[in-house]
Structure 1
Amino acid sequence: MLGTLTLLASTAAGAADEKLLVGRFSAGDLQDWQTKSFMGETHYTFDNKSGQPALFADSRGAASGLYREIRVDLSRTPWLNWSWRVDRALNGLDERTKDGDDYPARVYVVVSGGTAFWKTRSLVYVWSSSHPAGATWNNAFTGNARVMALRSGTKDAGRWVSEKRDVRADFRRLFGDDIGAIDAVALMTDTDNSGQSATAWYGDIYFTAR
């Protein structure tokens, strides 16, 4: 009996410590990541000038992102973790409009609609330039994307900040659906609509059980 209890406790602890690594940017690894271009090219490189090894994004009137197709079981690992840093916010934008749909940094989680591509939905965590942290809104270009501001303006600019989000809970709140898995993770620094410039750094991205 004691051995069984020990095994159960060990299994429970292992489940609680479960970690699914999506982006190993601190190791300079972009394996399995692909590029999606919208307007011009945001340049993504690796550097440690920000104080730690990271993925560096430099956008100058351009918009392209990186994405990785990966199935994540949210019943096992619902918590999305990452760190990021921006040096400054963008100026004079209304991010709820198409002309203002630019962000110094954003991280997406995507639920695929499969062959029914019009059913694909995205939850987008952003570093907002004009809306307060905690604000949410519909993406200006599609009704299938919801935006959530986690950081705002210059309050945390110039330093690394860490994020931890319960994706399943956030998706339920913004879409009204209880999803069991996501199908891709993406990131983008973009300035194509405003014609401005932005730089950002992204740390490792991973899912955890808690």
Structure 2
Amino acid sequence: MTKAWFGLWMVLACMQVWAQALPLPPLVQPDGAINPAWRFVGFPRQHTELPPTRFEAGSADGVAGVQVLTASSYGTLVQDTRGLAPARLQWRWRLDQPLSGGKANADILTKAGDDAALKVCVMFDHALDRVPFVERTVLRLARSASGESLPAATVCYVWDSTHPALTQGANPYTRRVRFISLQGRGAPLARWVPESRDVAQDFIDLFADELPQGPATPRDAAPAVTRVLIGADSDNTASTSRGWVADVRWAADSR
């Protein structure tokens, strides 16, 4: 192999690695502590009085994971990544106590009830020129006010005890966040549930109105992933909840 061909091969190899999002570090380290690679992000700095959601490493029924506890609070654990989503995002979660005891009923379709006892979200580097003008302007202002590089598109998978499973919609505060409730009303509590999602296809389905119209959109039309997060919030309803998340990982296989 000549030097020129070898150099080209190296470039192509690097591009292939870049094309897929980096592996996600484990949530829990071998010593039983939360992996510091997952950083805590709370509400924007102008709302620092809002209590943070608590994340505690532990185990439930022999499964090591992160316990997520809310009490009129908000918070996420975020992993920064970059690249096109592999075939599937997989994780396990369980809800021990749904949102309860608050001043309002939880309802992710309304502003007053917009809380989630558990969520796993994926943020995308969606092109700003595909975002409607008014929303694009609001997003730029929000980025400036929050000090965070807020994404133009986020897909959230939520555990919701109010609506039926597979309810889909946009966050009532911003259409930059759209969700699917994988577990819904009547889902069993205190039991680990495995999930496996094609996040690129979910992005295409949820943000179809901001993608070119025509024949079926290919899966690789989804933009790069920038972050994966887990979290929970109960600030709108002033309620409490308790759940777990474990084994969040990218999987190249189709299952």
TM-score range, shorter chain: 0.7 to 0.9
Aligned counterparts of 1:36 and 1:194: Cα–Cα separation in 2:
20
Matched, 1:112 2:114: no
Aligned counterparts of 1:140 and 1:19: Cα–Cα separation in 2:
29
Matched, 1:98 2:111: yes
Matches within 5 A, 1:55-94: 55-74=66-85, 77-91=86-100, 92-94=105-107
Corresponding residue for 2:10? none
Aligned counterparts of 2:200 and 2:89: Cα–Cα separation in 1:
10
AA matched with 1:78: A
Q: Is the 8 A contact 2:72 2:233 kept in 1?
A: yes
Moved more, 123-132 or 108-117: 108-117
Q: Is the 8 A contact 1:127 1:153 kept in 2?
A: no
TM-score, normalized by length of structure 2?
A: 0.69
Corresponding residue for 1:6? none
Deviations 1:40-82 (A, max 9, x none): 11111101144311111111111111111101322xx131000
Q: 2:228 aligns with which of 179, 182, 185?
A: 185
From the superposition, tell whether residues 23 and 190 of structure 1 become closer, same or farther in structure 2 (CA, over 3 Å).
Answer: farther
Q: Is the 8 A contact 2:123 2:226 kept in 1?
A: yes
Deviations 1:127-166 (A, max 9, x none): 0121111110110111111010000134221100000000
Aligned counterparts of 1:54 and 1:139: Cα–Cα separation in 2:
27
AA matched with 2:246: G
Q: 2:245 aligns with which of 199, 202, 208?
A: 202
Q: How many residues are treated as equivalent by the alignment?
A: 192
- Which has the larger strand fraction? 1
Corresponding residue for 2:39? 34
AA matched with 1:198: S
Q: 2:56 aligns with which of 36, 45, 57?
A: 45
Corresponding residue for 1:140? 172
From the superposition, tell whether residues 199 and 50 of structure 1 become closer, same or farther in structure 2 (CA, over 3 Å).
Answer: farther
Q: Is the 8 A contact 2:26 2:247 kept in 1?
A: yes
Structure 1 residue runs of 5 or longer lacking an equivalent are 1-17
Q: The residue matched to 1:172 in structure 2 has which SS? A: helix
Structure of larger gyration radius: 2
Over the matched positions of the two proteins, sequence identity in percent amounts to: 27
Q: 1:172 aligns with which of 195, 204, 216?
A: 204
Q: Is the 8 A contact 1:61 1:196 kept in 2?
A: yes
Q: CA deviation at 1:20?
A: 5.5
Structure 2 residue runs of 5 or longer lacking an equivalent are 1-19, 44-49, 129-135, 141-150, 212-220
Q: Is the 8 A contact 2:21 2:81 kept in 1?
A: no
Aligned counterparts of 2:244 and 2:64: Cα–Cα separation in 1:
9
Q: Is the 8 A contact 1:35 1:66 kept in 2?
A: yes
From the superposition, tell whether residues 63 and 31 of structure 1 become closer, same or farther in structure 2 (CA, over 3 Å).
Answer: same
Aligned counterparts of 2:248 and 2:199: Cα–Cα separation in 1:
13
- Which has the larger helix fraction? 2
